[in-house]
Amino acid sequence: MDDPSWKALEKLCYRIQRLVQDAGAKVEWSPKGIKDPDTGQARQVDVLITSADDKRTTVECRDHADSQSVKWIEELAGRKISLNLDGMIAVSRNGFSEPARVKAARFGIMLYDFDCLSDKEIASWGSVARVESDFVQFHHVEIVAVVSNADIGSVASVPTFVHGGRDGFAAVLDALRDSVEEQPNFDLEKQLDPAGYTVDGVGIISLRCAYKGEVVTRSASCTYAAMIDAPGTARQLREIGVQRFDHSIHEVVQHDGRAHVLVDFSRLTPPPNSILHTTRVTFPKETAVDHFELIGDKRLQVPVDQIGLFVVPSGLMLSNAAVA
């Protein structure tokens, strides 16, 4: 399930601050809290930045439909004073009112807002990062799993195929994909290590595959882009860019020639009978990826409609070998 919009915004601000802050700074998302100097109680903050010389700055986020008013800034100013903070950053998805900007300037609160691009602007935006993914797509796969004679009666006609507690088909395709890249559209065979594979909970003695496939490249569409900076800063002068894509790469945050790349496997649905092989992110200028973050299980549940699983007893395999 997706995060609520406010939590997703907090996490985005955390990733932004990891790029923006000096290397010696420690950036924490939703820390356990900072101690109130008066009550001794832990006070919750969205993002906490602690500099190398122990100066503390918090980042507070709002994802509301309207621009933020002076009332929220006054609340933040009171919190900044009460907690003896050295700095505070307020982030609003939809900007700030003019009185809010004036009040923030008085209390030394830095403001960030989002300048979101339309679909047409995204298409023509020269600074957009581009994402391509290679999927190894299988035209057919036949898997022969050998179990003991004693266990064959415990296996259903359509068994559950598992490897290490996860989808067994994905594990097999993962083991075969490199050979498909090397020999696309060839009829191939491979003997796999059966350790960890089960059918209906029964251990597999031998695992052999016959298969054929090719590498398919798909370009991801940028579904969201925004430039982030102080309110009133022209878009071309804004220093932080955020993009989201419809597959493979969930989010790219760019700042000053550096980037944070977020891959969310829970959002990735590969084409039928395929598995993700490689993903490429191309930036419009030389960019160093400072942070690479993975979410979800990279061993995907593979949608299958051309993969055959045949479970046979070891005695049958021995008989066939004797005839051969």
Q: What are the average pLDDT values for consecutive 10-residue runs of the chain, which has 324 residues?
A: 74 89 85 86 90 92 92 95 94 94 95 88 74 88 94 92 90 93 96 96 96 91 90 89 88 91 77 82 87 70 74 69 36
Report pLDDT for 127: 65
Strands 56-62 and 87-92: parallel
Task: Please give the class, per CATH, of domain 5-116.
Answer: alpha beta
Structure tokens at 105: 């300037």
Residues linked to residue 61 through DSSP beta bridges, in sequence order = 91
Q: Positive or negative CA dihedral for 73, 78, 83, 87?
A: positive
Report pLDDT for 319: 43
Structure tokens at 251: 């989010």
Q: How far is CA 13 from CA 47, 48, 89, 93, 208, in A?
A: 8, 11, 10, 11, 48
Phi, psi of 306 (to 5 degrees): -130, 30
| Under 8 Å between Cβ of 170 and 302 | yes
pTM: 0.75
Report pLDDT for 243: 92
| Under 8 Å between Cβ of 129 and 244 | no
Report pLDDT for 301: 54
Structure tokens at 208: 């052999």
The H or E element containing residue 11 is helix 5-20
Residue ranges of domains in the chain: 5-116, 118-324
Phi, psi of 80 (to 5 degrees): -60, -45
